[in-house]
Structure 1
Amino acid sequence: MSAADQRQGLWELAHERGMSRRRFLWLLSAGGATAVLAACTGTRVPAETLAPTAPAAEMLPWFKDPDPFIVRGTSGLEARLENLDGLITPERFFFVRNNSVSLDVAVDDWSLSITGDAVPAAVEMSYDDVLAMECRTLEAYLECAGNHRAMFDLVNGQTAEGTQWGTGAVGNATWTGVPLADVLRAAGISDDAVSVMLIGMDVDSPEMGFRRVIPAAKAMDPDTLLVHGMNGSALPRDHGYPLRALIPGWVGSTSIKWLSQIVVSADQQWARNNTTSYVLIGDAYPPEGEALGEVATAQTIKSALALPWPAELDAGVHRIGGYAHSPAGRVAAVEWSDDSGRSWREAQLVGRQARLGWARFEFRWDAPAGEHTVMTRATDTAGNAQPEQVPFNKKGYLFNQPVPHPVRVV
């Protein structure tokens, strides 16, 4: 077997174990195959095995400081909601979900291509071309499809596949960008367009570029943006610089980062992420087209406390806060319970709520000593409310039952 074949086999093993390409290459350069195999098996590598010149920063698959987060393997940084005190999530606290590693893209080498049988000819745009188009800014929450996934097990005793996110795979930001509809019209999208595939530059992700297909009608929605700014600054590298999609109210996997290709078709397009992944697979979800179940698109109404998990408080009066959000409208009300849902009281909505953003709520709790389960449930202006039960799906998407938050009061 050649050295190249050995290296490829080693990479396939590491990738199966969830290792990022960046970490794989760092370990290979620092300690060779021994270091990679040790990392795959959980064996400690002697420090003298690693080359002293190997930069420790290269071990990280993100650019931001991971310390404020709950680190979920090599692909996720889960926000600690207790770190947030306003409606806009600072970038340093905004969750990250990757399918390989964050990219450092040289904008001069970047371009956006629009191709497919529903445009008359291929179009290529530079970063300056995008910036020259009329842009808009909107406030919107962004949430991973697997946010609250761990609750399938913790609450219902059903273990789902995938990263066991708690309640922090969500954030709310102001986003600046160009409506995707304007880009597609400039490319000459035809009236018979059915689907639009968005493809990222992260070639170490599945399909050599993470991708999602959205309906043409959703692509033409004026709120669907190609984003180049976040919270008043250029889009950070961890969040898709130089350009990402933003599909407000839909699962985060549709908001492709490091966007470089758009394929517009008069037919329905299928890929991994609308056939076997980001699909609700279970008895309650009949298959759609080539998908194994119901394709995950719109998010669900949720609420969560801005407390550590589990939380510990001193006995006495506290002002407890949290966040609620819905893809179908503004949050109309949030209720809370300190007796595992046997009785409910109304929380106070605090401050403004943007049309596509989340709401902050608070309530006063005179906390007695002991073990407590505090729960919240939200209702939106369209009448949607968090359900008492969510049918199980294999990949653990869209859990939105009221979360029983454990709180010890001492």
Structure 2
Amino acid sequence: MSAELSQPRVSQLGEFITPNHLFFVRDHFVDRPVLSDDEWRLYLEGIGVEYTTISLDHLRSLPSKTLTVTLECAGNGGYGRGADRHQHHMRSMVGTAVWRGVPVATLFENAIPPEVTEFVFRGYDGGEDPDEPVPIDCYTRSIPRAKVLDGDTLLVYEMNGEPLPREHGFPVRLVVPGWYGMDSVKWLRSIEARTTPLGHFYDDHKYRAQSTDAGLQAGRRVREMGVKSLVLSPSNGQRLLFGDIPISGLAWAGENDVTSVDISFDGGRTWQPTELGHEARPYSWRTWSLTRKVDEVGPLDFVVRAVDSEGRSQPMDAQPVRTYEANWVQHVRVFVVAGLEA
């Protein structure tokens, strides 16, 4: 059995806000929970927490917050199991939506004792994982206290002004802005405050930096998104008429702002700045564009590099064992021609 995964074509990501039906889907198990508004409950428990059950009506009655957030699959563009080691096996597992929900901090009313260091979020989904011989009761992620209680980590029930679709976690999911998508637990069931690590499969054996097919648990936990850019147009291998060639795409940097996106037409020796669209802000991507005048026919190669507000920039070279956090520059080759066939 395999987890559900669907993604749009890169060319479909041209809108600043990704429509719900085009937003990528990544599930860890085959079966998705089927929950109704009336039966869904969220359970709060743990150190310093009086056991509490939250209904959807109660959650919706609390003061809400709306954030525009880009979510990206941690494996977007990496080398997953069975992937061609010389090609990115996917690039479009990323999207931006307007999310509405209640800050997690609101539910705890600042009553969490200082010894609590992390919160464990569990979903209603469970099943089999190819790397774990024992069936998993529920998808689980642990998130540090500071990130959970910072006011922007939300219990979301609306996506782009509509009730959260089932494939995106209806009726309630977690959204952790600036962190890779696996931390934004879908079909949320419970939140537990803890003073010690829980020790579970999806923290200890999956989503580890430099994880490879040969060895899990190979490094630190994967969490914060890196700085990254994506070329939307033209596509790799496209034939284009010589003259003015528009190039455009998107760039994002997790919790940081994207401050520049540059293009090199000589393999990274020199760089030209692109024009950035939309304001710089954390959590969501920015559009960028540049027009290149080309007077000769033949192949045209370029690479794109984004830089963020902390000075982080994309590496030039791919890391051939990296499964997660792949953010090296994108190489594109197009073919400039004198005329296009009808």
Report if aligned partners of 1:200, 1:260 keep a CA contact under 8 Å in 2.
yes
Report if aligned partners of 1:140, 1:354 keep a CA contact under 8 Å in 2.
no
Deviation of the 1:81 alpha carbon: 2.8
Q: In the alignment, does 2:126 pair up with 1:193?
A: no
Q: Find the aligned partners of 2:128 and 2:70 in 1 and give their Cα distance.
A: 24
Report if aligned partners of 2:83, 2:89 keep a CA contact under 8 Å in 1.
no
Deviation of the 1:358 alpha carbon: 0.5
Q: Find the aligned partners of 1:323 and 1:390 in 2 and give their Cα distance.
A: 19
The runs of 5 or more residues in structure 2 that have no matched partner are: 130-135, 338-342
Percent pairwise identity: 29
Q: Find the aligned partners of 1:78 and 1:309 in 2 and give their Cα distance.
A: 17
Deviation of the 1:240 alpha carbon: 0.8
Report if aligned partners of 2:256, 2:281 keep a CA contact under 8 Å in 1.
no
**Alpha-carbon distance change, 219 to 226 in structure 1, aligned in 2, over 3 angstroms:** same
In the alignment, what sits opposite 1:104?
A: 34
Q: Which amino acid aligns with 2:197?
A: Q
Deviation of the 1:308 alpha carbon: 7.1
Q: Find the aligned partners of 1:106 and 1:242 in 2 and give their Cα distance.
A: 7
Q: Which amino acid aligns with 1:402?
A: V
Which structure would you say has the larger RCO, counting Cα contacts within 8 Å and 6 or more residues apart?
Answer: 2
Q: Equivalent residue of 1:364, what SS?
A: strand
CA displacement, residues 366-410 of structure 1 (integer Å, 9 cap, x when unaligned): 35533333311011122111123465555x110111111233344
Q: Equivalent residue of 1:257, what SS?
A: coil
In the alignment, what sits opposite 2:308?
A: 380
Q: Find the aligned partners of 1:273 and 1:217 in 2 and give their Cα distance.
A: 20
In the alignment, what sits opposite 1:244?
A: 173
Q: How does 1:7-86 map to 2 (within 5 A)?
A: 15=1, 18=2, 75-86=4-15
Q: Which amino acid aligns with 1:95?
A: F
Q: Find the aligned partners of 2:4 and 2:236 in 1 and give their Cα distance.
A: 23
Report if aligned partners of 1:146, 1:165 keep a CA contact under 8 Å in 2.
no
**Alpha-carbon distance change, 329 to 153 in structure 1, aligned in 2, over 3 angstroms:** farther
- TM-score w.r.t. the length of structure 2 is 0.86
Q: How does 1:135-146 map to 2 (within 5 A)?
A: 135-146=64-75
Deviation of the 1:239 alpha carbon: 0.9
Of 285, 295, 313, the residue aligned with 2:221 is 295
Q: How many residues align?
A: 325
Report if aligned partners of 1:249, 1:356 keep a CA contact under 8 Å in 2.
yes
Which protein is richer in strand relative to its size?
A: 2
Report if aligned partners of 1:79, 1:170 keep a CA contact under 8 Å in 2.
no
CA displacement, residues 54-80 of structure 1 (integer Å, 9 cap, x when unaligned): xxxxxxxxxxxxxxxxxxxx5211232
**Alpha-carbon distance change, 104 to 154 in structure 1, aligned in 2, over 3 angstroms:** closer
**Alpha-carbon distance change, 350 to 313 in structure 1, aligned in 2, over 3 angstroms:** farther
Of 114, 123, 129, the residue aligned with 2:52 is 123
Report if aligned partners of 2:178, 2:282 keep a CA contact under 8 Å in 1.
no
**Alpha-carbon distance change, 209 to 152 in structure 1, aligned in 2, over 3 angstroms:** closer
Deviation of the 1:148 alpha carbon: 1.2
In the alignment, what sits opposite 2:340?
A: none
**Alpha-carbon distance change, 364 to 84 in structure 1, aligned in 2, over 3 angstroms:** same
Q: Which amino acid aligns with 1:228?
A: Y
- TM-score w.r.t. the length of structure 1 is 0.73
